[in-house]
Amino acid sequence: MVRLNESICGVVDKFLFLDPKRAQSELEKFKFNIATLQSSLAEVESSLYNTNTNVGKLDYYLNELQDINERIKGVLLNHDVIFGPQTSWCTPCTSHSVNKNRASLISGQSGCLLSSKGYTTGVHKWKLKMHSRTSTCMLGVAPSTVSKNGVNYSSNGYYMNLDDGSLYSGTPTYYSNRACLGKGVPTGSILILTLNCDKHTLTYNFEGKDYLAYENLPSTELFLAWDNNTTGGSDIEIM
């Protein structure tokens, strides 16, 4: 309204200099338009005013909208937000005992445990809680061709060693003790894996920070994978 008033004053000044009668006519139109706007705004304000609480409904809805926007913003920015597990651990292999979303290593056994579902397209997250970690655990993604009774991390799949956060993999990267986190993932920690099948990447999120671990992953179906050595005791849950 202020900007409109400033603009009309400039117009009126020109009309006063060239045609005083037209200037008067334009001012009358302006006054009529302003009165119409004020009346319309008063009706809107009246319809949005709660006479029971003496609180403007518009302010109420604006506050509610701001609260909703903040919640949505929090969801978009918070990497820890995952709406339930996408999968569970699959039927037990020789090296792990499994109870739905929770698995434990069996002492003296080797093998790779996979999730119950794999993916070839889309973006997929797994949120994992380390209930206990007393052994070397290799967590990552792998195809269904992994060995269920032998070690895989240096030949088949794409993993991170939870002892020191280093990477190990088979073809085509062939990583061996490649630095990634720069630190281990201890008992009680939360680790989030993000498999982007469209961009062919695997990212780890630890302590709120993303670590891009693998690029150029194959287009084959990939599962969440837990490979291990023969030391038992570790317990990991898909949340």
Question: What's this model's pTM, rounded to 2 decimal places?
Answer: 0.65
CA distance 152 to 140: 11
* Structural contact between residues 192 and 126, judged by C-beta atoms closer than 8 angstroms: yes
Residue pair 158/213 in contact (Cβ under 8 Å)? The answer is yes
Q: What is the mean pLDDT of each run of 10 residues along the chain (239 residues)?
A: 62 63 73 77 67 60 71 53 66 80 85 92 95 89 92 94 95 92 95 96 96 96 87 86
Which 3 state secondary structure label does DSSP give 35?
A: helix
Q: What share of residues in the chain are helix, strand, coil (percent, to 5)?
A: 30, 35, 40
Q: What is the largest CA-CA distance in the chain?
A: 103
Are the beta carbons of 200 and 219 closer than 8 angstroms? yes
CA 181 to mean position of chain CA atoms? 19
Question: Considering the domain 96-238 in this protein, what is its CATH number?
Answer: 2.60.120.920
Both tokens assigned to 147: 């060995």
Q: Is 127 exposed, middle or buried (0-12, 13-18, 19+ CB in 10 A)?
A: buried
What is d(CA 185, CA 163) in angstroms, rounded to the nearest whole number? 6
pLDDT for position 149: 85
| Site of tokens 């599962």 | 223
pLDDT at 83: 46
What integer pLDDT is reported at residue 150 of this predicted model?
87
CA distance 222 to 220: 6
Q: What is the pLDDT of residue 59?
A: 67
Strand partners, 134: none
> Do the Cβ atoms of 84 and 125 come closer than 8 Å?
no
